Structure formats: C-alpha cells, structure tokens
Amino acid sequence: MQTKPKKANYPVIWTWFFILALTPIILWIIPSDTFDDLGIKTCPSLLLFDIECWGCGITRAVLHFHHLEFADAAYYNRLVFFVYPFLVYLWIRWIKEAILFLFVKK
C-alpha cells in the first residue's frame, strides 16, 4: 500500500512535475543529430569486447524517433519501436501521479 508523502515533499514533487513537463519540450529543442557523431564509446560491451549490445544506439534512436525520423531511429537501434512507447507510457504515468498528488485533495 502506497502512502501519501508528507507536506514537506511538496517542493520535491513540484520539481519532479516541472522536470517531467519540460522533458518532451527539451527533446524537441535538441537537434536530432546531437549524439550521432560524438565518437565516444561508453558501452562496456563495446569497450571490453568490441561487440555491440542490444542497447547500443538507443539514445540516438530515441532522439530521432522523438523527432519523427523513423528510418534514422531504426538505423541506430530497431528496439526503439518498443522502447519509445514504453518511455511515453512511463512519462504519462509519472505525470498523472504527480498531478493527482499535487491537485487532487483527499
């Protein structure tokens, strides 16, 4: 059973709400090719074994998918067609929970 946080947590919930609300806008402002040519390998699988894992390229793919560039998104990682809808689902769920906590009086 989930309990309602104390009133002292209102600033934290408001901050979380604004971060969530601004995330899609910020992703639209960032150009879709921002991470395409960084040349930085951060994946442990690539660094240690020089093998791409299932998550390689998902950040680039999500950014291209968010900009409705589906062919580019599929080029970087085809799993984006499952990951992006799941991220949207999580975003909607978290926004809903924040709104219910902040604006619905019980």
- pLDDT, mean over the chain: 86
Domain-embedded: residue 99: yes
Domain-embedded: residue 2: no
Q: Domain containing 45: what range?
A: 7-103
Domain-embedded: residue 61: yes
Please count the structural domains in the chain: 1
pTM over 0.75: yes
Please give the pLDDT value at position 95: 94
Domain-embedded: residue 32: yes
- Which whole-number Å values give the CA distances from 41 to 35, 36, 46, 80, in the listed order? 12, 12, 7, 19
Domain-embedded: residue 1: no
**Which residue carries 């909607």 as its tokens?**
92
Domain-embedded: residue 66: yes
pLDDT digits (tens, 9 = 90+) for 39-58: 667 778 888 888 888 888 89
pLDDT digits (tens, 9 = 90+) for 83-92: 999 999 999 9
